[in-house]
Amino acid sequence: MEDHITQEINYLTKEIDRTNGEAFNIHTLLTPSMSNNICALVFGHRFEYNDPRRTLLDQALDTASSLFSQIGILALSPPWVGKIIFRLGAVGNFRKFAAVLHLFQ
């Protein structure tokens, strides 16, 4: 795993160098770098930064992260509030996670 992380750091620094010192949103590079480390662990290889499969995985990770942060807030609210919120968001989130599950098949 250390070799995969070192290799990914090299890709990340090359992408940062391509900005030529211009300001940019580091999130756009850190997310693919992190997801490539996960992909190396799960799939045994990395995806290029512009690969649609990695982009799909990144979007799912962002969605999951957002959902987990909302769960903390919902823990303090009455149970019926959480049920309404999860039902409203379930359809869109199900589609996103179904697309990610397709990557594993």
Q: For the chain, what is the radius of gyration of the CA atoms?
A: 17
pLDDT in tens, 23-66: 988 888 888 888 888 888 888 888 888 888 888 888 877 777 77
Show me where the domains of the chain are located: 1-46, 51-105
Residue appearing with tokens 């309404």? 84
Two tokens, residue 100: 């990610």
Q: Closest by alpha carbon to 51, among 62, 35, 63?
A: 35
| 37 contacts 8 by C-beta, under 8 angstroms | yes
Terminal CA-to-CA distance of the chain, rounded, Å?
A: 23
Say what the pTM is.
0.58
- Average pLDDT on 6-35 reads 90
